[in-house]
Structure 1
Amino acid sequence: MPVPASSLSQRGQFRALYNGLKSQKALDRVPVILCEGDSWFSTPLYMNMLDWIVSPAPQDNERGVPLLGQGGLFFRAEHSGDQAIPQKEHPSRSMFTKDNVDDLVGWFGRFNFDAVLLSAGGNDFVDTWLQKTMAGQKNLSPQQAFDVIVATGRFDDLRNAYALFLDTFHAAKPNVPILAHTYDYPRLIGSDAKLGLGNLGAAALLKKSIGPWIGPYIEPVIPGGVPAWRAFVKLLIDGFAERVLEPLKASARYGGMFDYVDLRGQLTRDDQWNDEMHPNEAGFHLLATVFRAALSAKLPPAKR
């Protein structure tokens, strides 16, 4: 009998459900997964990518989309707006600080997790950081603007932040796979979040974080309008994959246990996006099918 997927952010609830599955001798077939990340895993405005992985739509099964075979137990530690790189101004909004990583790995060590999912890095290149970085710049091509980003060392800082997390978790349990993802190429540069009646309650809590986080800071710097701005952001997305995720995946120190899902080029239509950084619910659903298949392949055969 399949076990319905459950996602919990409260540690006491997670422990109780884990122990319940253990007493029922169900842990040999139920995947147990720890999740840390940003709004691609946590936005409450509609079903995000992780929501779709935890709770696939009924039609997914009919379409033959690979699901987690016996349900799953997800411990969710993600928060919208969190950055990967430690921030002096807002340390509590930084994922890969020593205190936060040590706290999570302590929890990780108490249970038999089968995988760790990460969604991190997108927020580190936008908003006030991008504003400060581009201040005073004028008439740059997308490539020249990207070169300004590279010169700051931001990609190196992000790779080092990821490495702190990976080193700590891999040392604790070297055989547990850790799976991250790229972001897809945004299209609605300069657009803020679309808030409808269905998400108005949650939106009230996030009214200071509905964007735009990119457009206002590159519009005065990169001439050429949306096509040029998309080209610049594409370089950022590619840079994240090529300068952060790929070197870490290739590193022998993780024994092949760190990997990432390449989501670039999946969402090619404006109507698959909600704003300049986030797909809409349908967009996240499409990305989740790609991510879920990669996750399933990382799990023990009995738990796929």
Structure 2
Amino acid sequence: MPRRKIPTAHARTAAEHPDERARLGLNAPALAGEAGESRRLALEAADDLRRLRYERYLADLGADKDDGTLESLAAGGAPRILAEGDSWFDFPFGGDPFERGDVVARLTKLINIKILNFATRGDEARQILGVTQRQRLKKALADPKTNFNVLLFSGGGNDIVGDPMALWIRPREPGMSTRDAIDLPVFEHALGVVRAAYQHLIAIRDRAERDTPGRQIHLVFHQYDFAIPNGKGVCGYGPWLRPALEYHGWHTHPDAHSIVRDLLRRFAGMLDGVAAGAPRVHIVRTQGTLDATDWNDELHPNRSGFGKIAAIFHAELRRLFPDSVKAP
């Protein structure tokens, strides 16, 4: 009998949960192999896209050098920007992999300066600072052809949402307040891994600066605005917030929203702690920017929302490079 084919998202879920395997009528070894193969292909596709973006960026730099644009930008102290991260920097509103509707796509149009974007939707901070992607990032920062002086980074959101979120949400008991809904020791453990990823990123930047005396690289991080746990996913993925909250009895929207806001405020506090005392580390403060109508789903702004977030990044870059990043 031929093996039943199911969407990748379901294959991953079924591979991890025995009851889901039974519901789908699949045996564990076959399913694990299918999910693993899907994951491998997805990683290869992401690597191919990064390589294509890098080649295109270098080609554009060459064209700019030929027509004098590069020298003009360099004379004005323009930023050379590398972006790495998750779906806030890589969100596919359109079908062209080079044309997105996310923060980086919107920011590129605002500042009219090319950005090399390594971000891949779905990536966790621990993946980005793992061996493979870490090596790619270090190589890009060390490349004298690009000589990046800004690294935009979006990471950590995927590390604290989704099914594992059930581990740091407490079951609701009679009379229990939302202030007690988060199991703080468990959540701090999860947040600690994200914190370590950011600290390692700063260390990578510091090493790149030491390797080239006189070089300065600005790191630009961002808060995640207050997502709305409405149960809405996108393209077969998600939801990421509501299931864990409802599983533990937090059914009402005000309660669920309050808990998510608390989680994200703690994430923002972690960022402030990481940045404290570290030179050239900047936090883009987005919390409170988006209205309810600015969200596409539980985690991602819509086009209008990403535009609002990109405008805050623009203001930060303009502060850092006042002579070359112009007002909108």
TM-score, with length taken from structure 1: 0.77
Aligned to 1:264: 287
* Rg larger for: 2
Greater RCO (Cα-Cα under 8 Å, separation 6 or more): 1
Aligned-pair identity in percent equals 26
Structure 1 contact 184–263 (Cα < 8 Å) conserved: yes
Q: Please tell me the root mean square deviation across aligned C-alpha atoms, in Å.
A: 2.3
Query: CA separation of 1:263/1:303 partners in 2, compared to 1, >3 Å: closer, same or farther?
Result: closer
Distance 1:169 1:18 in 2: 22
- Within a 5 Å distance, the mapping from 1:235-274 to structure 2 comes to 235-243=262-270, 245-251=271-277, 254-255=278-279, 257-268=280-291, 270-274=292-296
Aligned to 2:152: 117
The structure with more helix, counted as a fraction of residues: 2
Structure 2 contact 104–115 (Cα < 8 Å) conserved: no
Letter of the 2:255 partner, please give it: A
How far residue 37 of structure 1 moved from its aligned partner, in angstroms, is 1.1
Letter of the 2:83 partner, please give it: C
Aligned to 2:259: 232
2:71 matches 1:33: no
Structure 1 contact 41–119 (Cα < 8 Å) conserved: yes
2:166 matches 1:144: no
How far residue 72 of structure 1 moved from its aligned partner, in angstroms, is 1.0
- Within a 5 Å distance, the mapping from 1:285-300 to structure 2 comes to 285-299=307-321
SS in 2 for 1:275: coil
Distance 1:216 1:76 in 2: 31
SS in 2 for 1:163: helix
Structure 1 contact 38–82 (Cα < 8 Å) conserved: yes
Letter of the 1:184 partner, please give it: D
Distance 2:197 2:90 in 1: 20
How far residue 229 of structure 1 moved from its aligned partner, in angstroms, is 0.6
SS in 1 for 2:70: coil
TM-score, with length taken from structure 2: 0.72
Distance 1:225 1:262 in 2: 28
Query: CA separation of 1:282/1:303 partners in 2, compared to 1, >3 Å: closer, same or farther?
Result: closer
How far residue 128 of structure 1 moved from its aligned partner, in angstroms, is 2.4
Letter of the 1:177 partner, please give it: H
Distance 1:103 1:300 in 2: 30
Gaps of 5+ in 1: 1-6, 57-67, 86-93, 194-202
Count, aligned residues: 257
How far residue 303 of structure 1 moved from its aligned partner, in angstroms, is 5.0
Structure 2 contact 172–181 (Cα < 8 Å) conserved: no
How far residue 131 of structure 1 moved from its aligned partner, in angstroms, is 3.3
Aligned to 1:96: 129
Letter of the 1:107 partner, please give it: A
Structure 1 contact 186–233 (Cα < 8 Å) conserved: yes
Aligned to 1:200: none
Which residue of 124, 134, 140 maps to 1:107?
140
2:225 matches 1:184: yes
Letter of the 1:172 partner, please give it: A
Aligned to 1:72: 113
Structure 1 contact 222–228 (Cα < 8 Å) conserved: no
Letter of the 1:295 partner, please give it: L
